[in-house]
Amino acid sequence: MSTGYWAKWVLALIFFPLIANGKEILPPSNVKAFDTPNDAGGAITINWELSPDDSIISGYEIWRSESPDTGYTMIGYMGQGIVRHKDDKNVEDGIKYYYKVRARTRAYEYSPFAFAFSTAVSSYQWYNTSKTNVLVALFTFTSLLILFVLRAKTRGKQLFLRKIAGLDALDEAIGRATEMGKPLLYVPGIGYIEEVGTIAAMNILNRVARKVAEYGTPLIVPNRDPIVLMVARQVVKEGYTAAGRPDVYDDSNVFFVTTSQFGYAAAVDGIMLRQKPATNLFMGCFYAESLLLAETGNATGAIQIAGTDKVHQLPFFVTACDYTLLGEELYAASAYLSREPTLLGAIKAQDYSKIILLIFIIVGVVLSILGISFIAKLFNV
């Protein structure tokens, strides 16, 4: 059979639905335009009901104008079976916009236009109702925080925190270095000052600085980042001052090494091998250099306490160190060591918030299995 024969059949299959209908394509219906809810303005949403001929069309054209009669331009195209379009192209708040929608086939046959029932004006909303769950969670956490801080301050109630072996051994590790007449090496990691792990390391450093000042133990703090160096110097200086020994503080013991990751690791390893510190503390953000540092310190026979929030480095510290602070234990260290009511209240509020969230998760899973989606809708899942 000739090529022309098959071409006729292909065209017949494409246009047969239109011929079979014997009428023009029907437009979509019930077109509505309204200000997009819960946004910062600059957007209008258009909804419509599918054309009765949706099965034979390719999609819908969306047209917009600032006049109800003229000046319409096409601002969007949605595929077959879709009933919504968000117009955020050059939409200005406070201006009335008019919309119309029509169906289109693959052969560029068009239905009549269906006009929106009303004009739409874009505006911003002060409150995003879809974030109500966040507001409730914030209010709950704040209430718990105030409650526990007041309990710790006004009632003098000692809030319970579970034992953290690495922090309990901190005084023992500092005392060991004092007895042996050797320095204590504090490595604050290779993170930047804006990282939570580095901030937690600075809080612990302040506590360590107070203790070594009381005992007269030399403290060595090598740094990789210049900003962290300046913070570390100030923290150590404040620790010595709080212990009543500002005259013992020596700026040269808190120094900059290099910004190179493995150059820094090599320098710290050299300090361990040359000065043989009795105690090594690794606190902060660590990456591939963690095992190099921990193994070298282990080889020198030093007691080692590590803490990091980098999950992938924890196995190396657990293997080569005497004690390891796991994840959030590093964040809780300042509250655990100082027993300051505000910090303790924050820790307890976080713990109870996690318990409440866990209960919601368990209840939500059970209800979802039973076909009840209330919890899922509450959390916008």
pLDDT at 155: 62
Indicate the pairing of strand 254-256 with strand 219-223: parallel
- Quick one: pLDDT band at residue 247, thresholds 50, 70, 90? confident
Q: What is the CATH number of the domain that holds 41?
A: 2.60.40.10
Cα–Cα–Cα angle for 208, 210, 212, nearest 5°? Answer: 70
Residue 86 lies in a domain: yes
Residue 8: is its pLDDT beyond 80?
no
pLDDT digits (tens, 9 = 90+) for 219-235: 999 999 999 999 999 99
Residue 9: is its pLDDT beyond 90?
no
Alpha helices in 283-340 (DSSP H): 290-299, 314-320, 328-338
| Sequence-distant (≥ 6) Cβ neighbours of residue 104 within 8 angstroms | 57, 58, 59, 60, 61, 77, 110, 111
DSSP tag of 110: B
Q: 171 and 299 in one domain?
A: yes
Gap between the Cα atoms of 179 and 36, Å rounded: 70
pLDDT at 11: 41
Q: Is the dihedral of CA 346, 347, 348, 350 positive or negative?
A: positive
Q: 316 and 169 in one domain?
A: yes
Q: 349 and 333 in one domain?
A: no
Residue 15 lies in a domain: yes
User: Coil, strand or helix: which one is 69?
Assistant: coil
Residue 152 lies in a domain: no
Kindly provide the b/e burial profile for residues 287-297, where b requires at least 16 CB atoms within 10 angstroms of the residue's own CB.
Answer: eebbbbbbebb
Q: 305 and 207 in one domain?
A: yes
Q: 134 and 115 in one domain?
A: no
Domain count for the chain: 3
Residue 295 lies in a domain: yes
Gap between the Cα atoms of 343 and 133, Å rounded: 26
Q: 284 and 363 in one domain?
A: no
Residue 88: is its pLDDT beyond 60?
yes
pLDDT at 14: 45
Gap between the Cα atoms of 148 and 48, Å rounded: 53
pLDDT digits (tens, 9 = 90+) for 323-372: 999 888 888 887 787 777 788 888 888 888 889 888 888 888 888 888 87
Q: Is 0.75 topped by the overall pTM?
A: no
Residue 204 lies in a domain: yes
pLDDT at 4: 47
Q: 320 and 246 in one domain?
A: yes
Phi first, then psi: give them for residue 119, nearest 5 degrees: -75, 165
Phi first, then psi: give them for residue 39, nearest 5 degrees: -130, 180
Q: 329 and 270 in one domain?
A: yes
pLDDT digits (tens, 9 = 90+) for 286-295: 999 999 999 9
User: Coil, strand or helix: which one is 36?
Assistant: coil
Alpha helices in the chain (DSSP H): 3-21, 132-154, 165-168, 170-180, 196-215, 226-242, 261-275, 290-299, 314-320, 328-338, 341-369, 374-378
Both tokens assigned to 220 = 């060595």
Residue 245 lies in a domain: yes
Residue that is written with structure tokens 């804006």 in the block = 194
Q: 317 and 275 in one domain?
A: yes
Mean pLDDT of the chain: 86
Q: 367 and 273 in one domain?
A: no
Both tokens assigned to 123 = 């505006």
Residue 154 lies in a domain: no
Asked if 285 and 197 touch (Cβ cutoff 8 Å), the reply is: yes
Q: 352 and 325 in one domain?
A: no
Q: 229 and 319 in one domain?
A: yes
Asked if 86 and 47 touch (Cβ cutoff 8 Å), the reply is: no
Residue 153 lies in a domain: no
Q: What is the CATH number of the domain that holds 299?
A: 3.40.50.720
Structural domain harbouring 176: 159-338
